[in-house]
């Protein structure tokens, strides 16, 4: 009797265990080839966000590092044309000068020789002219000889040529002449500001010495930048560009493409581009580094959020919605990117819907 009761208890316990309610099993993300289906009851489903692709106006910016420099014909380095001793300076650092303004005086024996050549040539011309006029008068009154008149005329022309050469020699040094022994006055060749002055009264300068004065007119400057060969198609003469310098990070500086070099640097595969900038406040100083942003013509293109782009090995892909809760893995080719968006050059078409968030939770589809 006891055995029958014990068996009944065991059977009852087994029956109760079999009838115990099992918890519902969590649905799985289904994978088939390169497609996945995410059930609406799956926790990941709520993390998925999608977006319909549309074409947008986009401009590919080209960025170049550059160096600020003075415009060559607005810049002059002044050295002494002769060996000699400086006896007087007329300028100081930071001073504005005009073309032709005196800079300094120098006593030079070499310059005295140029002065003497000019004075001698001037005297020779005066004597030759007197002789020529006298021969003309003699022939006019019938007592002169035509041959001597012709010789006097030729001599007069030759002497005038010599005087012209001697006068040109003085003009080379921007000299107004002066008597023999007078100092050479070195004058400014351009309008501008004295940005370097190494003049010391009494110092002796050699004719091959380094420049002692630098004059620059910096109301306009050039920025010399290098643009990669692949990007040069975006840069055209006359294009407006924006410029940033670290010294003035909040300043909005604009410039214009002045010149594009015709030669590609074979080592860097880049092309030299000159940008001209107005510089009324003289903030841009030769030697400063600058960042130049070339804006390109906007064009229609596909831009997607960077969160939509997935990476697998060396390839990139997105999840494209191809049905209800169904997504297909598709490889894409990308272009320029920024902090929020990336340009798609192939693989997607306007009107398609892509997964913009939640892709990191998807299993690896083949």
Confidence of residue 291 (pLDDT cuts 50, 70, 90): very high
The CATH class that applies to domain 63-73+217-294 reads mainly beta
Helices 146-172 and 109-140 cross at an angle (nearest 10°) of 160
pTM of the model: 0.58
The whole-number pLDDT of residue 278 equals 94
The whole-number pLDDT of residue 251 equals 86
* Average pLDDT of the segment spanning 306-329: 91
How far is 184 from 87, CA to CA, in rounded Å? Answer: 10
Is 269's pLDDT higher than 80? yes
Confidence of residue 274 (pLDDT cuts 50, 70, 90): very high
**Minimum mean pLDDT range among 84-93, 243-252, 349-358:** 243-252
* Average pLDDT of the segment spanning 274-290: 92
CATH of 77-215, one of 2.40.50.100, 3.40.50.360, 3.30.360.10, 2.102.10.10: 2.40.50.100
Is 122's pLDDT higher than 70? yes
Is 183's pLDDT higher than 70? yes
Is 23's pLDDT higher than 60? no
3-state DSSP assignment of residue 355 = strand
Is 215's pLDDT higher than 50? yes
* Average pLDDT of the segment spanning 191-196: 94
- Going from N- to C-terminal start, the domains of the chain cover 30-59+299-361, 63-73+217-294, 77-215
* Average pLDDT of the segment spanning 329-340: 85
The whole-number pLDDT of residue 173 equals 67
- DSSP string across 17-50: HHTSPPPPPPPPPEEETTEEE--TTSGGGGG-EE
Residues 132, 152: contact at Cβ < 8 Å? yes
Nearest CA to 45 among 26, 61, 60? Answer: 26
The whole-number pLDDT of residue 179 equals 61
Q: Is 266 exposed, middle or buried (0-12, 13-18, 19+ CB in 10 A)?
A: exposed
Residues whose CB falls within 8 Å of the CB of residue 143, separated by 6 or more in sequence, listed in order: none
Residues 54, 303: contact at Cβ < 8 Å? no
**Minimum mean pLDDT range among 93-102, 171-180, 248-257:** 171-180
Q: Whole-number mean pLDDT of the chain? A: 86
What is the architecture of the domain spanning 30-59+299-361? Beta Barrel (2.40)
The whole-number pLDDT of residue 2 equals 44
Which helix H or strand E contains 226, and what residues bound it? strand 220-228
Residue range 37-56, pLDDT digits in tens? 999 888 889 899 999 998 88
């Amino acid at each position: 009797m006891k055995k029958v009761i014990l068996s009944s208890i065991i059977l009852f316990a087994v029956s109760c265990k079999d009838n115990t309610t099992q918890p519902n099993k969590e649905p799985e993300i289904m994978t088939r080839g390169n497609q996945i289906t995410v059930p609406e009851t799956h926790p990941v489903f709520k993390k998925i966000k999608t977006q319909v692709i549309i074409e947008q106006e986009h401009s590919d910016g080209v960025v170049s590092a550059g160096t600020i420099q003075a415009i060559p014909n607005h810049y002059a380095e002044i050295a002494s044309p002769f060996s000699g001793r400086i006896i007087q300076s007329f300028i100081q650092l930071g001073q504005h000068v005009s073309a032709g303004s005196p800079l300094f005086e120098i006593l030079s024996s070499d310059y005295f020789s140029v002065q003497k050549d000019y004075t001698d040539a001037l005297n020779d011309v005066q004597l030759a002219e007197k002789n020529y006029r006298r021969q003309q008068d003699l022939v006019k009154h019938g007592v002169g000889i035509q041959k001597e008149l012709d010789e006097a005329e030729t001599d007069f022309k030759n002497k005038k040529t010599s005087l012209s050469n001697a006068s040109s020699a003085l003009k080379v040094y921007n000299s107004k002449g002066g008597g023999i022994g007078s100092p050479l006055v070195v004058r400014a060749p351009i309008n501008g500001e004295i940005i370097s002055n190494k003049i010391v009264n009494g110092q002796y300068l050699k004719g091959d010495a380094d420049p002692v004065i630098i004059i620059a007119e910096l109301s306009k400057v050039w920025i010399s930048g290098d643009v990669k060969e692949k990007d040069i198609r975006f840069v055209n003469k006359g294009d407006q560009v924006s410029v940033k310098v670290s010294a003035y990070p909040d300043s909005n500086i604009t410039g214009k493409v002045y010149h594009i070099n015709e030669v590609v640097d074979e080592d860097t595969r880049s092309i030299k581009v000159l940008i001209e900038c107005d510089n009324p406040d003289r903030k841009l100083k030769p030697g400063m580094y600058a960042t130049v942003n070339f804006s390109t013509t906007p064009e229609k293109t596909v831009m997607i959020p960077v969160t939509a782009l997935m990476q697998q090995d060396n390839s990139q892909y997105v999840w494209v919605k191809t049905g209800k809760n169904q997504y297909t893995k598709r490889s894409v080719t990308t272009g320029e990117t920024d902090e929020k968006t990336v340009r798609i050059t192939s693989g997607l078409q306007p009107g398609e819907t892509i997964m913009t968030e939640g892709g990191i939770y998807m299993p690896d589809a083949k």
